[in-house]
C-alpha cells in the first residue's frame, strides 16, 4: 500500500507459558503473528510486535501504545491542517 499510515497496530504474542500458569505453549502462535503482520501491514498500519511478555509488561506496552496513538492522531491532524490550508494562508 502506498497511502499514508493509518495508525499503529500493537501485537502481543505470548507463545511460551510457565508451567505454573496452567496454559500450554501455543505452537501456531508464530504463524498467527506472521499472518496478522501481513494483513495489518497491507491495511497500512505500522506494527509494534512483542513476544512472551508478562501481564505487567503488557500494561506497559498498552500504555505506550496509547501514547503513540495520541502521537499519530496529532500527526494526522497536523497533516490534514497543512494540506487543507491554501498557500496564501501561510505566513
Q: Write the pLDDT tens digit of every residue in 34-82.
A: 899 999 899 888 888 888 888 889 888 888 877 777 776 665 555 444 4
Output the 3-class SS for the chain. CCCCCCEEEEEEECCCCCHHHCCCCCCCHHHHHHHHHHHHHHCCEEEEEEECCCHHHHHHHHHHHHHHHHHHHHHHHHHHHHHHCCHHHCC
The predicted structure's pLDDT at residue 64: 84
Q: Give the per-residue pLDDT at 77.
A: 52
| Mean pLDDT to the nearest integer, 7-15 | 84
The pTM assigned to this predicted structure is 0.64
More confident residue, 25 or 83: 25
Spell out the domains of the chain, with CATH numbers in brackets.
Answer: 7-86 (3.40.50.1460)
Amino acid at each position: 500500500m502506498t497511502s499514508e499510515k493509518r495508525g499503529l497496530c500493537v501485537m502481543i504474542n505470548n507463545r511460551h507459558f510457565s508451567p505454573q500458569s496452567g496454559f500450554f505453549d501455543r505452537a501456531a502462535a508464530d504463524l498467527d503473528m506472521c499472518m496478522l503482520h501481513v494483513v495489518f501491514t497491507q491495511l497500512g498500519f505500522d506494527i509494534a510486535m512483542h513476544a512472551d511478555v508478562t501481564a505487567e509488561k503488557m500494561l506497559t506496552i498498552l500504555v505506550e501504545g496509547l501514547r503513540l496513538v495520541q502521537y499519530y492522531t496529532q500527526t494526522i491532524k497536523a497533516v490534514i491542517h497543512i494540506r487543507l490550508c491554501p498557500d496564501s494562508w501561510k505566513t
